[in-house]
Amino acid sequence: MQFISNRQIVLASGSPRRRELLGVLGIPIKVLPSNIDENVELIDGDFNVYVQKLSMKKADAVAKQEPDAVVIAADTIVVFEGEVYPKPGTEEQAEAFLKKFSGKTHSVFTGVSVLGAGKEIIFSVETKVAFKALDEQLIKAYVDSGDPMDKAGGYGIQTAGVLLVDKIEGDYSNVVGLPLSKLVEILRSEGIIQLKEGE
């Protein structure tokens, strides 16, 4: 299955995981990280609005540099008991995150913005992730692997972090960093991408 587009698609993110997910479309994609200040106020605990605003801030910054392209930006956060869990700053913090998630369910929110071709589309997706009851040996081995350090919440479901997960409710690719199914549905409905003839 391959898609085509008559516009340059720009991914406003340096995330290799998002680039890999978008690569499924088979469309040449330009990567241009936004490098913006990601401070956005969280209002009334509305995490959907929070990630939408962050993604739009990224998209807007890159759209100014690529006015003829369609810019796709995303921001993913991990939320547990009303708090945002960022990328851990230390191995100790990564271990603390995973101990808190152990045997419980947290949420992963991704906000996505699409700017260009006369369109301004913003949406967000929530996926619930239930962790197994984790023993300290498993947590330490995973943290020692280095995998958690560049990932929101301190784990990656697409890598060895999947061993920590009992089940998910919702879109798997959203937990990786981009709700691809919903994004493709919107890009197709807006005429930004089309299936290649014969597909």
Catalytic residue annotation? 75
In 3D space, the residue among 46, 137, 131, 51 whose CA is nearest the CA of residue 97 turns out to be 131
- Between CA 102 and CA 133 the distance in angstroms is 5
Q: List, in sequence order, every beta strand (DSSP E) within 66-191.
A: 70-80, 83-85, 105-116, 119-131, 165-169
30 forms bridges with which residues in the sheet?
Answer: 10
Q: Are 187 and 123 in contact (CB under 8 A)?
A: no
Backbone angles phi, psi at 89, to 5 degrees: -85, -25
Q: Count Cβ atoms below 10 Å from residue 191 Cβ, excluding itself.
A: 11
195 forms bridges with which residues in the sheet?
Answer: 3
- Between CA 51 and CA 147 the distance in angstroms is 24
The three-class DSSP label of residue 102 is coil
